[in-house]
Amino acid sequence: MKIQEEHKVKIQLILSIIAVMGLTTSLPIAALEFGQHGNNSRTLNAVLATGVIEWDDVEKLDQFLTRQPKKRHTAIYFDSPGGSLGGGIRLGKYFKRNRIKTVVDGHKTCASACALAFLGGTDRNGNRWMSTTTTSKLGFHAFRNADGTRYEDTDRTQSIVGEILEYGQVVEAPMEIFVRNFKTPSDDMYLFSTQEALSLGIKVWDMQYDCFVGEGNCGGLKDIPEESGPVSFVQEYYTKIKKVPYSHTWNMLSMSLRNKVGFDNYVDWWDRKVDRVFLQNAKAIGSNRVQVRLLYHMKNGRKTCSIDTFALHKGKGTWLIHDQQYKGCTRK
Which 3 state secondary structure label does DSSP give 275? strand
pLDDT for residue 19 is more than 50: no
pLDDT score for 328: 83
* Residue 300 or residue 218, greater confidence: 300
Q: What residues does 140 pair with on adjacent strands?
A: 190
Walk me through the domains of the chain, giving residue ranges and CATH numbers.
2-206 (3.90.226.10), 211-325 (3.10.450.50)
pLDDT score for 156: 58
pLDDT for residue 327 is more than 90: no
pLDDT score for 155: 55
User: How far apart, in whole angstroms, are the C-alpha atoms of residue 141 and residue 156?
Assistant: 17
| Alpha-carbon dihedral sign for residues 67, 68, 71, 75 | negative
* Residue 147 or residue 270, greater confidence: 270
Which 3 state secondary structure label does DSSP give 112? coil
Question: Cβ distance 110 to 88 under 8 Å?
Answer: no
pLDDT score for 198: 83
Q: State pLDDT tens for residues 170-206.
A: 999 888 777 766 676 666 778 888 878 887 889 988 8
pLDDT score for 175: 82
Residue 179 backbone phi and psi in degrees, to 5: -60, -45
Weakest-pLDDT range from 38-42, 128-132, 158-162, 210-214: 158-162
Question: Cβ distance 289 to 312 under 8 Å?
Answer: yes
Which 3 state secondary structure label does DSSP give 265? helix
* Element housing 159 (H / E): helix 154-170
Question: Cβ distance 49 to 78 under 8 Å?
Answer: yes
pLDDT score for 105: 94
pLDDT score for 218: 60
Q: State pLDDT tens for residues 217-261.
A: 565 444 444 446 888 889 889 988 877 778 888 888 988 898 888
